[in-house]
């Protein structure tokens, strides 16, 4: 019985992950339109130690999709709360987070 429940759970998790997969191409477009002004090429023009590099994301505890989604949604001075302001939808924020993590993994190349 436990084996059947495990198989069903894994199947559901797989479907959920697939259906909720973020679109990095859309994320790139949203990032370019809303974020690149301060974060061109993964940099941070306002606070250089808080770039979008893999190292800085890790140091600043922003190295997960959930952490990036929270920051983009709620903001943190001087960054605006794009989600709360209705500038970027929740699904597009997920796409941006996926794009940022993908680019950070590649060194923003």
* pTM of the predicted model over 0.95: no
Q: Are 107 and 54 contacting, i.e. CB atoms less than 8 angstroms apart?
A: yes
Q: Are 101 and 53 contacting, i.e. CB atoms less than 8 angstroms apart?
A: no
Q: How many Cα neighbours within 13 Å face the side chain of 6?
A: 3
Q: Are 93 and 72 contacting, i.e. CB atoms less than 8 angstroms apart?
A: yes
Domain coordinates in residue numbering, the chain: 23-105
Cβ count near 13 (within 10 Å):
10
- pLDDT per position in the chain (109 positions), as tens? 555 444 444 444 443 333 358 999 999 999 999 999 999 999 999 999 999 999 999 999 999 999 999 999 999 999 999 999 999 999 999 999 999 999 999 999 9
Using DSSP, state whether 52 is helix, strand or coil.
coil
- What is the CATH class of 23-105? mainly alpha
Write the CB contacts of 64 (distance below 8 Å, at least 6 apart in sequence): 101
Burial class (CB within 10 angstroms; exposed 0-12, middle 13-18, buried 19+) of 41: exposed
């Amino acid at each position: 019985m436990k084996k059947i429940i495990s198989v069903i759970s894994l199947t559901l998790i797989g479907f959920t992950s697939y259906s909720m997969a973020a679109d990095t191409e859309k994320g790139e477009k949203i990032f370019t339109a809303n974020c690149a002004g301060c974060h061109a090429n993964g940099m941070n023009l306002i606070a250089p130690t808080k770039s979008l590099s893999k190292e800085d994301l890790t140091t600043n505890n922003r190295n997960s999709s959930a952490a990036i989604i929270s920051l983009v949604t709620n903001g943190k001075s001087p960054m605006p709360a794009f989600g709360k302001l209705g500038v970027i939808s929740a699904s597009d924020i997920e796409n941006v987070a996926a794009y940022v993590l993908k680019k950070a993994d590649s060194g923003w190349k």
